[in-house]
Amino acid sequence: MEPGTLVYDPRTRKVGEYRGMAGPCAMLRPVGGGREWQADPALIRAATAEERLSAGARAANGRSRDGVLTTPPLVDAGPPPEPVPGCATCAGLAERRAHARAAGDGSAETDADVLLARHRRREHRDRRVLRFVPFAIVQDPSALPEYQAQCVSGDDADCGATSGPRAAPGDVEEWQRRHTQETRHTRYRRCFADYAVLECRA
């Protein structure tokens, strides 16, 4: 598994960025940064597109609450990395990026870009110019956010019932109340997802 891959840890029920191995344990870091934790490498799996979206939204919400979205980060200047001719690894990552782009999976496309750039730096001694660009990430007013809840009550396994995407948090809460009345289940995992736009302030 390549470092930087987003994986799901069923023990903690969290999505994390795979960093590498520390003895028999896999080291994962929260999406958006934070304290690493140890996971069983036999249990973790690649995160789904929905899990990556939810984890990214939670990280963005956390950064927004902490007031760090408008700080000028270090970003890569220039076009996406291109494969080095004759390199099988480069070709494989470029194909993975093309499949993600064709499927409309922006997160997977970005993952492939990151892995290709990292491979070029390590194996082909590629160096790219970095510069500071001030920007702000704001919610896209043309796209409605989505709210969702999933029932995780149960002794041996989660119930798994879900509200499906809803346009307002009140709709999700109403579904939770009805589900609790019908099943007596009381524990839910709630997700919020929205669309964001990066506005350059340079």
**Per-residue pLDDT tens digits for 23-58:** 889 999 888 777 889 999 999 999 998 888 888 777
**Closest Cα to residue 16, out of 43, 36, 42?**
36
Whether residue 1 is contained in a domain is answered as no
Which of 66, 87, 103 is the C-terminal boundary of a domain? 66
- List the domain range (segments joined by +) for residue 163: 69-75+133-202
Q: 35 and 97: one domain?
A: no
Cβ–Cβ < 8 Å for 12, 37 = yes
pLDDT score for 21: 87
pLDDT of 106 above 70? yes
User: Do 58 and 104 share a domain, yes or no?
Assistant: no
198 in the same domain as 143: yes
> Residue 192 domain-assigned?
yes
Statement: the pTM of the whole predicted model exceeds 0.75 = no
Residue 99 lies in a domain: yes
Q: Are residues 88 and 57 in the same domain?
A: no
**Domain boundary residue, one of 36, 66, 96:** 66
Contact 74, 129 (CB under 8 A): no
Q: Are 183 and 159 in contact (CB under 8 A)?
A: yes
Q: Is residue 165 part of a domain?
A: yes
Asked if residue 171 lies in contact with residue 162, where contact means CB atoms within 8 angstroms, the answer is no
CA distances from 73 to 77, 99, 139, 156, 181 (A): 12, 29, 18, 44, 48
Beta bridge partners of 199: 136
pLDDT at position 71: 44
Q: Are residues 172 and 157 in the same domain?
A: yes
142 and 202: one domain? Answer: yes
Mean pLDDT of the chain: 82
Domain count for the chain: 3
The reply to whether 138 and 198 lie within a common domain is yes
Q: Give the SS3 label for residue 136.
A: strand
Residues 35 and 52 in one domain: yes
176 found inside a domain: yes
Specify the amino acid at residue 1. M
